[in-house]
Amino acid sequence: MLDIPEEQEKSRNNPSRAYVRDAKAMAATPADVIEYPTSYVFIVDMPGINHGDIKVQVENENVLVVSGERKREKEKDEKEGVKYVRMERRVGKFMRKFALPENANMDKISAVCQDGVLRVTVEKLPPPEPKKPKTIELQKRKMDLRIMGFDSPLLNTLQHMMDLSDETEKIPNAPSKVYMRDAKAMAATPADIKEYPKSYVFIVDMPGLKSGDIKVQVEDDNMLLISGERKREEEKEGAKYVRMERRVGKFMRKFALPENANADAISAICQDGVLTVTVEKLPPPEPKKPKTIEVKIA
C-alpha cells in the first residue's frame, strides 16, 4: 500500500508542474493505514476542509485516491481589512494515493470525515477456498537435491530518538523532559495570526481533537496558551498498523498578546479540526486635551 505518484516513469528526468505539485501535496498529507481481519482503514488528516470538498476515488481499478484543497480567504480578508501577522498553516492541495491489495473489495468503500480527520474503510474480499492438495507420484529414480543458501542483505535502520533519556536529567543545565516535550509540541503545531481592525485572530490546526479536549488559557495577563492532546485510538482486536504518519501527543502554542489586546474578551470555536481564537482589541485611548499654559507678564 505504497503511494503512487502520477506519471512516475515519465517524471523522473523531466518532472511536470502537476507532478511536482502532487508530490508536494502527498508529502505534506500525513496518513495512517490499519489492517483489520475484514477490512483496511485509511486515516488522513485534512483540517479545515469540509466533507463536501473532499474526493475519494478509485483509479486504475486498484489505486485509492484521496484529495481536497484548502484555499486562503483572500477576498474576504481584503474586504474586512485583514493583515496577516503570521502564516504557518498549509494551504493548497491535500492528496494521498494508495495501491490497494489484491483482496480489497472495490465495491465496498465508505468514507467519514469528522473533526478534520478523514476515515476511509475498504472491506476485504472473502478468502478464496483452499485448494485441494495435489498428490505427486514419487519416481524410483534417485534425484540429487541441492539446497542453495542465499544470504539476505542486512537492513540497518537509523532511528532518531528525540526524547531525552533518564540520564539527561542528571546532567547539569540539561533541558528537562517537560521542556523538550513542550518545545516539540509547539514546533509541530502550525498557526496563522490575522489582525483585524478590532481584533486579533489565532487559527491553529488541531485535527482529530474535539472542542472538549482543547484548552485556551491566558497566563501572566498577556500570554495566550492553546493546548490539547491526541492519543492513538484504541483499535479493535486484530488490528495491525501498516503505516503510522499522523502525529499523536501534545499540541501546544503560546502567543504574547499585544498591549491593546483585551484579555477579558476572548472567544474560541473549533470546526473541522481547526481552532479559531478571537481576541478583541481594547478601544484606543482618548486623545488628551491640550493643556493651556498661562503666560505671565514679566
Which residues of the chain fall short of a pLDDT of 70? 1-14, 134-174, 235, 298
CB atoms within 10 A of CB 112: 10
Place of cell 478509485: 58
pLDDT at 172: 58
For position 144, what pLDDT does the model report? 40
CATH code assigned to 31-126+176-281: 2.60.40.790
Report pLDDT for 100.
94
Q: Which residues of 184-212 are buried (b: 16+ CB within 10 A; e: fewer)?
A: bbbeebbbbbbbeeebbebbbbbbbbeee
237 with 253: CB under 8 angstroms? Answer: no
Instruction: Specify the pLDDT at position 152.
Output: 36
Q: Give me 108's grid cell.
A: 465496498
Q: DSSP secondary-structure letter at 141? A: S
pLDDT of residue 37: 92
Angle subtended at Cα 261 by Cα 255 and Cα 263, rounded to the nearest 5 degrees: 80
Alpha-carbon dihedral sign for residues 180, 244, 2, 116: negative
How is the chain split into domains, by residue range? 31-126+176-281
- Give CA angle at 186 (80, 161), nearest 5°: 150
pTM of the model: 0.70
pLDDT tens, residue by residue, 67-104: 999 888 777 777 788 888 989 888 889 999 999 999 99
